[in-house]
Structure 1
Amino acid sequence: MQPDRVASAPSTVLGRQLGEELRGMRERAGLSTSAVADALDCTKGKISRIENGRSPVRTPDLTAMLHLYGVEDPSVHERLAELARTANKRRRGSGWWNEYGDVLADTYRDFIALEAVASSVRTFQSQMIPALLQTPDYARALTAAGRRWKQAAEIEQFVTVRLMRQQRLTADPPLSLSVVLAEGALRQQIGGPAVMRDQLEHLVHAASMPNVSVRVVPFSVGAHASMAGPYVILGFPSEAAMDVVLLDNPSGSMWLEGTTEVETYVELWNDVCTKALPAAESLELITSIEEPDR
């Protein structure tokens, strides 16, 4: 059994994600790395490097491996091919997100790339609305408050990236987004009353989308296990794919990919979902804050 891994180095997250899926498929097919290497007329070391995320995967090799593993579903082929292309672009420093390299940290660029091929995002946020549901003015106020970027042009670039990420919610297929918010995130006056009013209205509208769920943990719940801080869990379509967790802190971001660490956050997520109001009651609370005189 491989030890759990904490991913903090950029450029390898996507490759490891693809490699883990391919390893799982190979093992279920009952094939050794030597057998795969013989079939592809390459070295055993190449297969190991691919599965460890250390080597890029060319489309012909990926296609040959999937056929060898008995994976014939065209949607699986296309998804993994897209993941391979995205991982290779990230290694080469290409991809639309890299056009904003001056304002985006490596881990954030990796996150955007991985989000592009994820099927689901589950996130708990204690003090702010998650990026995928932020209005431009709300995102602008948050970015300016972060004090990392002082130039207006840099702030606008960062906001543009955030809005481009939101296109994932209306893509085909759309990203499934499940959000649990602490009530404080709804009451923190980011950007002032007018900005917050628009933000809460947008939140209600977004919650009406079939692929978006928004629930709130009210103040009345008291203490709960997720109070230690926000987190994001990304999930993927294949059963062989591992979830990954992103944590943010003032000094940067950290990926968690190890089984134990990811399971810890899945347990936190399941727990906080039991504390949150049902969807309809959550929307009533959001609306009451948006329109206090209603």
Structure 2
Amino acid sequence: MAAVKTRRKVAFGKKMAAVRLAAQGKPRTAEAAAAIMVAATTVTRLEAGSSCPDWPTILGLGRYYGLTDEQIKSELFPLWQSARQSNNTIVEHAANLPPKYLSFRQEEADATDEWIFCVAALGGQLQLGSYAVAQGRWRAQSSEEGWKQRVIEERRDRQKLLYRDPPLGLHAIISEHLLWQMIGGREVMVGQLEHLLELAELPHVRIQVVPIGADAWATNPVTLLTFDDDDPDLAYLEHAGGGVTVENEVDVQALKDTFQAVGRNTALPEDRSLELIGAVLNARRKNEQPQPFRPR
């Protein structure tokens, strides 16, 4: 499986690179690796945030760089321990996931709250497996044997975060046109809309809908994650080729500000949003044509 970067491993890697460059003679990664008898790639991947070696390797590097055991214990061990914890996050079907998405899944498992803008399709935490299969059927992987079942299981496994203790808090803002889209046919959409209403019954799930005709709120599909420690928030931007993680604090804050502004000024309140979803569901059950929401 391809190496997976996580927020904690990247932070630890940057720290180890800084320690190496502050050492006498500024040894190269290959020199440091040779000195403690590990592969050169062990050090380069460590500093890149792609891997987190065992403690004896870190201890050896710290001593080679001239740190005392007390400095190693106080400066390196907490970061190493945090980075190793991210390795313990189990993501089902990881071998079948793209590295960037797998990295996001590991970050999501560490998060306390998740905000999602649903623009082109409903977000993964909201999707039924049948909806996810229909929405992704155009992708190249869809021709692979067992692809449909893997997609269904991956969605189910991901949504277990909503039922853990404590659960992942979820706030979704959905464009109304997604409710009227015919993804996978009427039966799939009826099931998906029912699923949205069931999720909304959870006390830690909020769903708002931006009605057709509301003020423009152009944005790309984005997921925002927050954490309960001192780790900064991050964003995951989705696109046709996959996705990219945004960690720059200014950029992430701008996305959060936009999300809050849309939720406050453009989207319907939660009760009216659920009323709208229910109305669309009833129309879908009767096989009626779309009738955009009109504010009361």
**Which of 1 and 2 has greater Rg?**
2
| 2:269 equivalent among 272, 278, 281 | 278
Gaps of 5+ in 1: 1-8, 24-32, 34-44, 70-76
- Residue 287 (str. 1) matches residue 283 (str. 2): no
Distance between the aligned counterparts of 1:263 and 1:59, measured in 2? 35
Match for 1:270: what amino acid? Q
Instruction: Please tell me whether residue 56 in structure 1 is matched to residue 56 in structure 2.
Output: no
Length-normalised TM-score, structure 1: 0.71
Residues of 2 paired with 1:206 and 1:83: CA distance? 32
AA of the residue aligned to 1:217: V
1:61-72 equivalent positions in 2, closer than 5 A = none
| Corresponding residue for residue 134 of structure 1 | 127
Root-mean-square deviation (Å)? 3.6
What is the CA–CA distance in structure 2 between the aligned matches of 1:17 and 1:286, rounded to whole Å?
A: 41
170, 181, 184: which one pairs with 1:188? 181
Equivalenced residue count is: 245
Q: Which has the higher contact order (CA 8 A, sep 6+)?
A: 1
Matches within 5 A, 1:74-223: 84-87=84-87, 95-97=90-92, 99-101=93-95, 103-223=96-216
Distance in 1 between the 2:258 and 2:83 partners?
A: 28
- How far apart, CA to CA, are the structure 1 residues paired with 2:139 and 2:121? 13
| 1:251 alignment partner in structure 2 | 241
Q: Give the residue type in structure 2 aligned to 1:107.
A: K
Q: 1:106, CA displacement in angstroms?
A: 0.4
Q: Distance in 1 between matches of 2:167 and 2:91?
A: 19
Which range moved further: 121-130 or 9-18?
9-18
Change beyond 3 A, Cα 1:51–1:242: farther
Residue identity in the other structure for 2:219: A
| Distance in structure 1 (CA, Å) of the matches to 2:126 and 2:236 | 17
Q: Tell me, in whole angstroms, the C-alpha distance in 1 between the residues paired with 2:130 and 2:272.
A: 27
Residues in 1 aligned to 2:47 and 2:94: alpha-carbon distance in whole angstroms: 30
> What stretches of structure 2 of length at least 5 have no aligned partner?
20-31, 33-44, 59-69, 289-296
Distance 2:234 2:181 in 1: 29
Say if 1:271 and 1:19 are closer, same or farther in 2 by CA, change over 3 A. Answer: farther
For 1:220, what is the secondary structure of its paired residue?
A: coil
Deviates more, 1:204-213 or 1:260-269: 260-269
CA distance in 1, matches of 2:55, 2:167: 25
**Structure 1 residue 260, shift from structure 2 partner:** 2.0
